[in-house]
Structures are given as C-alpha cells and as structure tokens.
Amino acid sequence: MTLIRCYLYREKVVVPTVKQTEAGFYVDSHPVEIHPINNRQSLHRELVQALTKANEVVPTPAASQEAGSVILDKLGLQKWSSFEKSAVMYTIMLGVRYITVYASGRGGDGMWSESSSSQRMFHPKLSKEAIADLLIEEMSHQPEARAERFSLATIPKSP
C-alpha cells in the first residue's frame, strides 16, 4: 500500500513526503512542496509524482524524541491548531482492493473531526493522473481554496 497526504491551506496545497515507520505508522517528512491551488498543471504533476512513489520505511522515532512538524516549519507557523483551523487534510491510500480518499471535516470547534470527514473509494486501476484530477477538482471547491475565506472584514471608520 502507498499513502500520501496533502493539505489545502489558504489557496495553497502542501504536499509532504510521507514515510512509513518500522512500527507501521506514517509520518510527514521532508521534502515538503507547496503549490498554489490555481496552478493546476504544477499541482497535478506534484500529485502524480507523490502517488507514484512508494513510502520509504524509516526507523520508528523514539518516544523521547521531540515531536515537530515539517508542515508548520515549511509554512513558518508555530501552532498546529492555527494550521488545522485553516486547512483541509487529504489522505490518499492506494490499496490492492481500493483507492481511498479521505478528506478531513470540521467539528464545532473548527478543528478536524473524524465524524465530519468524508471518504471516497475508487477502483484500484484508476490512473494516478485521474486521481490527481479528482483531488484538484475537489480541492478547488473547498472554502480554503478561495482568498475571501481569509480576508479580514473591512470596518468603516466612525464619523
């Protein structure tokens, strides 16, 4: 199985390299690529490339190792909660029986919620190009793909 993740964040798509630990879980790693959502050709190429690569297996981090985030580092952010409230996470699993695409949903607090997430399943022979097209199309309809979601309201000056 191959797994990739990408994050739609403020009109950009963040695509980290995803590695599998010896313990079996997946971690975001360097390099992390960022593409504007409106640059479909560049984004399509990046997604197809990510879908084509197998996940490298790496040693499981020690419990004492300080957790960090290559995503936050790349975006210059300090807090995961700030990122999560402005992002949609897509997880794509290329399995033997299905290709599964998960998209994070939001709970009442604005954070990701499993109960609000969506899941779509596709035939395992669907091409990487078609998967990339589907992802880009879905992402382009999310509020995070549009600038107005993040612009501050203009308040007129009092006379």
Quote the Cα angle for 13-15-21, to 5°. 150
Domain boundaries along the sequence of the chain: 2-60+68-144
Strands 99-106 and 87-94: antiparallel
pLDDT digits 0-9 by tens, 90-132: 999 999 999 999 999 999 999 999 999 999 999 999 999 999 9
pLDDT reported for residue 158 = 45
Token output for 81: 């909660």
How far is the C-alpha of 130 from the C-alpha of 8, rounded, in Å?
Answer: 19
The pTM of this model reads 0.89
The predicted pLDDT at position 65 comes to 66
Percent with pLDDT over 70 in the chain: 90
Sign of CA dihedral 43, 45, 74, 117: positive
Residue 58 pLDDT exceeds 70 = yes
Q: How far apart are the first and last CA of the chain?
A: 63
**Comparing C-alpha atoms, which of 3, 56, 61 is closest to residue 30?**
56
d(C-alpha 126, C-alpha 138), whole Å: 16
Is the confidence at residue 149, as pLDDT, over 60? no
Are β-strands 12-21 and 2-9 bridged in parallel, bridged antiparallel, or unpaired?
Answer: antiparallel
Tokens (6 digits) for 53: 């690569």
Place of tokens 């949903």: 105
The pLDDT of residue 154 is above 90: no
Q: Which CATH code is given to the segment(s) 2-60+68-144?
A: 3.40.1590
Separation between Cα atoms, residue 61 and residue 21, nearest integer Å: 8
Query: What is the mean pLDDT of the segment spanning 17-43?
Result: 97
